[in-house]
Structure 1
Amino acid sequence: MRLVWQLVAVAAVALIGSQGVAAVRGNPWLTPALGLLTAVLAVLVHGWVVRRTEHRPSLDVAREGAAAAIGRGVLIGVAMFGAVIVNIAFLGGYEINGLGSLTGAAGLFGLMAAASVTEELMFRGILFRIVEERTGTWIALALTGLLFGLMHLFNPNAGLWGAIAIAIEAGGMLGAAYAATRNLWVPIGLHFGWNFAASGIFSTVVSGNGTTRGLLDATMSGPVLITGGDFGPEGSLYSVLFGVLLTIVFLRLARRRGHLVPRPARRRRADRIAADATLPR
């Protein structure tokens, strides 16, 4: 039941916040303010519901080192999406026509902050963490990545390939980032950096949600497997490739740090072996 209560609490904040942001969308001041407020409230509610249901503080969102961890995540996300755009542009699929809209980018900043925080709290901070306790890291990574991809099927212009791409490049990568760092700040920063770079900087479609106008006025054209088509660059093979590469890097880091959780059967077997080794001979 703790999984249910935690999901309901954070989802309620996400729903109310999204409705508020949608109501003032286009306002260059209220949109980013409400988006950031939703993000902050979601973190606070997550911490509160974890304390109530698990009788412990939520170390995933501890304030110590939060700013630095978010910054690292944002840099990785922006750099990753920038690499995708550079490769698409090299093949003629992305063209900059001039400058875009600063106020549009500001509104997208708040919108993407709310989306990245609430989604990471639900999928990595609650679902991945609790499923991992019962099944181990690998199964939790596969299940939550699949669910994350399936959730995007409800987006406009989404299709099966878009959901598969999101499951691999985002669901797997963000879960691996959480496993490597054991905090939510890096995945939140990475998620935000990727989404804001896509919409607020390069003005591309995000997960099928329509063309946005950020800092650059740009157009995309070309083969769907290269540009992602109506779903946006997240449907590009370049995004899948870079997502898989980052997933491998994070999982190697998690293994080196001893953060990978084995399946319960393996844990019990390891415990028995350790117990037998302590018995007198």
Structure 2
Amino acid sequence: MIKTNTPNNEVLSVKRKTKLAAFFQFPLIWMLVGVLGIILANVTFNWLSTDLNALGSIILTLVGSAVVILIYWLAMKFLARRPVPELLFQRRAVSEVTLGAVVALIFIIVSTTLIVLFDGYSFEWSTGNTSAVVWPIITTSLGAAFVEELIFRGLAFQAIERMGGSWLALTLTSLFFGIAHLGNPGATIWGGLSISIEAGVLLGAAFLWRRNVWFIISLHFLWNTLEGLLGIPVSGHPSAGLFTVEVTGPTLLTGGNFGLEASIIPVIISLVIAVPMLISARRKGHLLPLRQDPR
């Protein structure tokens, strides 16, 4: 008579599944899997968009944005094993998108106006084809906003936050965001540092304040779009906007070839906006301390 050891086999199988689940629930693991998935999707859709017309590009960008949102949701839901309240659609998504757009509008208008008042920029309307300028800028800004925010504030921020708390997450993701832009045209150490402060800190503070990805995606999208439409280089990338910009002031004021992000003005303005966000986030209990169990 052959004896079976089915209960033991079942126990071993359960243990293996538990270990595998615990492996993927570790923050750095689900962060890396999610980041790789988003990067792969982004590279694929960028390749597919080659030589498409304006309408085709915007449609493909919208599809690509939906795909990276799906990848983010899958990573959080099935690897991190956590709810995803920051992705709630319904009415809150609309209000968060609107609020993010308002913050971006204030940030860019105030920063640009101050630089103009200090004789750093002068603008002249460009008489080119408006639609040929607007749609490529919107397409590029939309793709960048979804990909960068889901990677840096969605995955990286929350993974680090679970291991070391909110302040460590804010510090490291801000530094990483600045470093990631050092490869851009015209980038300098100051340019990377300024990106870390005005974009890394501001967008990180915005996420802590609202705990909603639609808010930060909207803020990031309109920020880049307005810069591009004004004809100002976006983090070193030249933009054929609706205006021709003449840069007449010192680099510290204007940002030089790197654009608005390397100007001291938006660095200061971003901190003026970010600090109240952080204070409000703390009052709401949105700041997480260092946890003993990072899962």
What TM-score, normalized to structure 1? 0.88
Deviates further, 122-131 or 62-71 = 62-71
Aligned to 2:116: 89
Aligned to 1:66: 93
Which of 230, 245, 258 is residue 257 of structure 2 equivalent to?
230
Aligned to 1:52: 78
Contact 2:108 2:223 in 1 (8 A): yes
**Cα distance, 1:228–1:11 mapped onto 2, change above 3 Å:** same
SS at match of 2:234: coil
Separation in structure 2 between the aligned mates of residue 39 and residue 150 of structure 1, nearest angstrom: 24
SS at match of 2:54: coil
Which of 159, 170, 189 is residue 130 of structure 1 equivalent to?
159
Aligned to 2:225: 196
Contact 1:220 1:227 in 2 (8 A): yes
Contact 2:224 2:234 in 1 (8 A): yes
Amino acid across the alignment from 2:155: I
SS at match of 2:124: strand
Q: Deviations over 1:184-211 (max 9, x none)?
A: 1111111111111100x2111000112x
Number of aligned pairs? 262
What TM-score, normalized to structure 2? 0.84
Separation in structure 2 between the aligned mates of residue 84 and residue 36 of structure 1, nearest angstrom: 29
SS at match of 2:182: helix
Separation in structure 1 between the aligned mates of residue 46 and residue 185 of structure 2, nearest angstrom: 16
Amino acid across the alignment from 1:76: V
1:106 aligns with 2:132: no
Separation in structure 2 between the aligned mates of residue 9 and residue 102 of structure 1, nearest angstrom: 33
Contact 1:28 1:104 in 2 (8 A): no
Contact 1:166 1:234 in 2 (8 A): yes
Aligned to 1:271: none
Q: Per-residue deviation at 1:54?
A: 2.3
Larger radius of gyration: 2
In structure 1, list runs of 5 or more residues that go unmatched: 268-281
Contact 1:204 1:232 in 2 (8 A): yes
Contact 1:34 1:110 in 2 (8 A): no
Contact 1:102 1:214 in 2 (8 A): no
Aligned to 1:19: 47
Q: Per-residue deviation at 1:171?
A: 0.4
Contact 2:209 2:277 in 1 (8 A): yes
Among all aligned residue pairs of Structure 1 and Structure 2, give the percentage whose two residues are the same amino acid. Answer: 30
Separation in structure 2 between the aligned mates of residue 147 and residue 122 of structure 1, nearest angstrom: 11
Contact 1:47 1:57 in 2 (8 A): no
Amino acid across the alignment from 1:163: G
Which of 136, 159, 162 is residue 191 of structure 2 equivalent to?
162
Q: Per-residue deviation at 1:216?
A: 2.8
Aligned to 2:171: 142
In structure 2, list runs of 5 or more residues that go unmatched: 1-28
Q: Per-residue deviation at 1:128?
A: 0.3
Q: Per-residue deviation at 1:104?
A: 1.1
**Cα distance, 1:138–1:56 mapped onto 2, change above 3 Å:** closer
Contact 2:125 2:242 in 1 (8 A): no
SS at match of 1:206: coil
Separation in structure 1 between the aligned mates of residue 117 and residue 81 of structure 2, nearest angstrom: 53
1:258 aligns with 2:280: no
Separation in structure 2 between the aligned mates of residue 29 and residue 213 of structure 1, nearest angstrom: 19
Separation in structure 2 between the aligned mates of residue 68 and residue 217 of structure 1, nearest angstrom: 34
Separation in structure 2 between the aligned mates of residue 93 and residue 233 of structure 1, nearest angstrom: 11
Aligned to 1:75: 102
Q: Per-residue deviation at 1:31?
A: 2.7
SS at match of 1:154: coil
SS at match of 1:264: coil
Separation in structure 2 between the aligned mates of residue 77 and residue 94 of structure 1, nearest angstrom: 19
Measured on the aligned residues, the alpha-carbon RMSD in Å equals 1.7
SS at match of 1:153: coil
Q: Per-residue deviation at 1:57?
A: 4.1
Q: Per-residue deviation at 1:232?
A: 0.3
